Structure 1
Amino acid sequence: MAHPELFLKKNEDKRLRKGHLWVFSNEVDTQRSPLNQFAPGDMVKVVTSDNQILGAAYINPGTLVCARLLSRKPGAKLGSKMFTTRIARALALRERFYNKPYYRLIFGESDGLPGLVIDRFGDVLSVQITTAGIERQKEPLLEVLVDLLQPTAILLKNDNPQRILEGLSTESVCAYGTIPEQLIIEENNAQFQIDIVAGQKTGWFYDHRSSRALLTQLAKDKTVLDLFSYAGAWGIPAALNGAQQVSCIDSSAAAIALAKQNAQLNHVSDNMQFVQSDVFEYLKQARLERRRFDIVILDPPALIKRKKDFKSGYEAYRRLNHLALQVLEKDGILVSASCSYHLSKANLHEILRSSARHIDRNLTIVATGGQAPDHPIHPAISETEYLKTYFCAVSESL
């Protein structure tokens, strides 16, 4: 049976023809295809105003992004066959980069499965479903994952607030097997105990892996300040690679406890210290006490989650970088990162430039980082490129 048609208004097909996968509700010709005739998760055939077929999508008529293209083939269906093909392809790509099963297996649109994120932690999978289209096919998805990967457990980490916009409930449930009490992963020759049930997002941030590897080359005999340290993903590899002293700062007691456990796991507790504190307040106090560090890592959570938050978020990034520079040792390295999609590379450049000039420092960017290969960027979908990291050499003014 053919999918019902979703007609676009005139000239609203340009972005899709360039490779993007989203259809916004205000782009739909609701005279020809009233949105109220569709149920969340229905498959539709996307058609231009002059009746050219663009492909098959799933739809949620009550959301801003009301349809997400899955295939240029108009009869394509979301189900076991598509899941098998696309997950197997994504798996083969990851296995070319990583020789151990610790990575993001599916990264939404970039892997041809909008609304789905899967992180692999050895034999355990953390699955995040954020759209009604994927939710409706949850059972065949789980069956495919079991068949392809033979996991011991699958956690549905469905606590993302985007689900509310899709009319879905938010919860974290074990959908298969049993989540182990202790789950340990490997990254950059370090081991980390993680909490995928109560932890942030899917339980771990694989996206910074490549930048964290670069840091290990710079850490020997240096004092390192790891701000917003979470489980110690930056600081612990630095300690393992010869850092003289590593200080991990986070406002979360649970994060600090986890980082301490991971320091013990990697036998680096002796040259690490952990402080539960608001990062802004910690930096102000460190500046007051004239404490200095050879390397400062600034990797905050997203401070601009929505476009309307840009002004306040930009100011927060500016203040953080300004304070971080003031506790940096002479000829130190600032690692400044942002995972906010709405903060552009140019924005972060300007923050670094102005912050350095304000305190009369010479700052040059000596290396850049971005998403690791398991977070591929779709060139037609700018939303898939969100992470930017700058390694900055900072010296006295010229």
Structure 2
Amino acid sequence: MRDKDVTSSRRGFRAVLKPREELRIKRGHPWVYDNEIAFVEGSPPPGAEVSLFDSKASFLGKGFFNPSSKIRLRLYSRTGEKADKAFFEKAFSEALAWRRRFFDDKKESQRIVFGEADNLPGLIVDLFVGQVDAGKPEPGPVGRWLSCQFLSLGVELRKAEIVRSLAGILAPDGIVERSEAPVRALEGLEASSGVLYGTVPGNVLIREGEAVFSVDLSEGQKTGWFLDQRANRAAAARFARGAKVLDVFCNQGGFGILAAKAGAAQVLAVDSSRGALVAAARNAVLNGVGSRYSTVEANAFDYLRNLEKEKAKFDLIILDPPAFAKSRSSVEQAYKGYKEINLRAMRLLNRGGILVSCSCSYWFDEHRFETMVEDAAFDCGRRIRLIEARTQDMDHPIVSGYGESKYLKCRIMELR
């Protein structure tokens, strides 16, 4: 269905909640589940704008309707406004204004839209500022590119209007779609990728602090680079001078290369993806730290176990695994995985060494994460001294009433 098919649908569709189902919505949560709705008036087509009311007929907001999803309605507004050109331009302008409190969008790569946290359910937009990486000694002029994910039906059906609005407000050189996340299947959507506007190079060189990284906008993981960990990478690097560093689940080398740039004596980077390691090794060379940066292709669990058998020791260990818990039902199994890698990392640290431990799973909440870390320390006879409790960077805003917006945990700890 094209944009005009959705916006031209007859108006007045209403969804009414069952009694006592409205409190979570009133507190700010944007999702309405199928089992919370008493009835829907009319026959709204997939993706239509539907007004939400509680059981006493009080208006609660307006959202995108999807009859094929457990999340039946995704609220984009607490007023009656339409999701038209004016709405998207306003939403993007407000999102950009928040980022400009903390970042310079002319110089710094950043997340411009963080889905529901920016009242744009299912939409992710990352801005990459840098130079085309053509593999030549002299990079090209500075450019700006957007990498987008359309992860819900509502924004998928309004893709053309969204692209037009983004192009008008941000004036990028190009916009690429990276809507390959499995969550699209829950919305009844297939994976989709490709250039939506302008021209987009394969790789661009972006700056992060004093480092430069080559980011693959077309084939890199998710949108190309994990911008949410930017501040945490800088924080971890403060402890790297003269250190022997182990970077586990290193991906394209963000943590380890910044550690090397900060003066680490040696960095050993571990990942199971050969492609990620090739990118990390090249990034090390780009930053002039290739002689102190080595990579190992291995399963992290197996490799940590082998290092322990070899009685290897490190001064700084970084654990930045993928989400082990992707649903409530997987939390207990995830606990075992997180605890194992943390326990083995603690055994590999010298006394007074630093552990940087992360989890990007919303379902594995802060309490579970901290309990897991303490349990791992107890089991290996170590004691931790917390240095910093951190979360995602400011371009991934955390909003009240929507717990899913606070998903990243990062703890920097000294091991005694």
Structures share a fold, TM > 0.5? Answer: yes
Matched, 1:84 2:128: no
- Aligned with residue 21 of structure 2, among 4, 12, 29: 12
Contact residue 210 and residue 369 of structure 1 kept, 8 A: no
Q: Secondary structure at the match of 2:38?
A: coil
Q: Secondary structure at the match of 1:96?
A: coil
CA deviation vs aligned residue, 1:24-72 (integer Å, no higher than 9, x gap): 1111112x537xx222110011111111111211111121111111222
Counterpart CA distance in 1 for 2:57 and 2:366 is: 39
- Aligned with residue 183 of structure 2, among 141, 146, 162: 162
C-alpha RMSD of matched pairs (Å): 1.3
What is the total number of aligned residue pairs between the two structures? 391
Q: How does 1:118-157 map to 2 (within 5 A)?
A: 118-122=125-129, 123-157=144-178
- Aligned with residue 111 of structure 1, among 110, 118, 121: 118
Matched, 1:60 2:57: no
Matched, 1:373 2:378: no
Name 1:354's counterpart in structure 2: 375
Structure 1 stretches of at least 4 aligned residues deviating more than 6 Å after TM superposition: none
Contact residue 127 and residue 146 of structure 2 kept, 8 A: yes
- How far residue 177 of structure 1 moved from its aligned partner, in angstroms, is 2.0
Counterpart CA distance in 2 for 1:382 and 1:355 is: 26
Contact residue 18 and residue 55 of structure 2 kept, 8 A: yes
* Residue type at the aligned position of 1:5: R
Matched, 1:101 2:108: yes
- How far residue 182 of structure 1 moved from its aligned partner, in angstroms, is 2.6
CA deviation vs aligned residue, 1:320-345 (integer Å, no higher than 9, x gap): 11111111112101111100111111
Taking every aligned residue pair, what percent have the same amino acid on both sides?
Answer: 36
Contact residue 337 and residue 387 of structure 1 kept, 8 A: yes
Q: How does 1:109-258 map to 2 (within 5 A)?
A: 109-122=116-129, 123-258=144-279
* Residue type at the aligned position of 2:49: M
Contact residue 9 and residue 28 of structure 1 kept, 8 A: yes
Counterpart CA distance in 1 for 2:78 and 2:375 is: 46
Counterpart CA distance in 1 for 2:192 and 2:93 is: 27
CA deviation vs aligned residue, 1:243-281 (integer Å, no higher than 9, x gap): 111111101000000001100111111111111111111
- How far residue 2 of structure 1 moved from its aligned partner, in angstroms, is 4.1
Matched, 1:26 2:35: yes
Q: Secondary structure at the match of 1:230?
A: coil
Contact residue 324 and residue 334 of structure 2 kept, 8 A: yes
Unpaired stretches in structure 2, ≥5 consecutive residues: 1-9, 130-143
Contact residue 283 and residue 324 of structure 1 kept, 8 A: yes
Name 1:329's counterpart in structure 2: 350
- How far residue 171 of structure 1 moved from its aligned partner, in angstroms, is 2.0
Q: Secondary structure at the match of 2:101?
A: helix
Contact residue 153 and residue 176 of structure 1 kept, 8 A: yes
Q: Secondary structure at the match of 1:390?
A: strand
Q: Secondary structure at the match of 1:234?
A: helix
CA deviation vs aligned residue, 1:317-375 (integer Å, no higher than 9, x gap): 11111111111112101111100111111111121112111121121212111010000
- How far residue 101 of structure 1 moved from its aligned partner, in angstroms, is 3.4
Q: Secondary structure at the match of 1:3?
A: coil
- Aligned with residue 360 of structure 2, among 334, 339, 345: 339
Counterpart CA distance in 1 for 2:235 and 2:329 is: 34
CA deviation vs aligned residue, 1:83-138 (integer Å, no higher than 9, x gap): 11111111122122112230000001111111100011121111001111111111
- In the superposition, relative to structure 1, how do residues 182 and 62 fare at CA in structure 2: closer, same or farther (>3 Å)? closer
Name 2:340's counterpart in structure 1: 319
Contact residue 253 and residue 280 of structure 2 kept, 8 A: yes
Q: Secondary structure at the match of 2:41?
A: coil
- Aligned with residue 12 of structure 2, among 3, 13, 18: 3
- Aligned with residue 69 of structure 1, among 69, 75, 93: 75
Greater CA drift, 350-359 or 243-252:
350-359
Contact residue 222 and residue 245 of structure 1 kept, 8 A: yes
Contact residue 268 and residue 295 of structure 2 kept, 8 A: yes
Unpaired stretches in structure 1, ≥5 consecutive residues: none
Name 2:139's counterpart in structure 1: none
Counterpart CA distance in 2 for 1:341 and 1:335 is: 18
- Aligned with residue 285 of structure 2, among 230, 245, 264: 264
- How far residue 6 of structure 1 moved from its aligned partner, in angstroms, is 1.1
TM-score normalised to structure 2 length: 0.92
Counterpart CA distance in 1 for 2:392 and 2:12 is: 36
* Residue type at the aligned position of 2:165: V
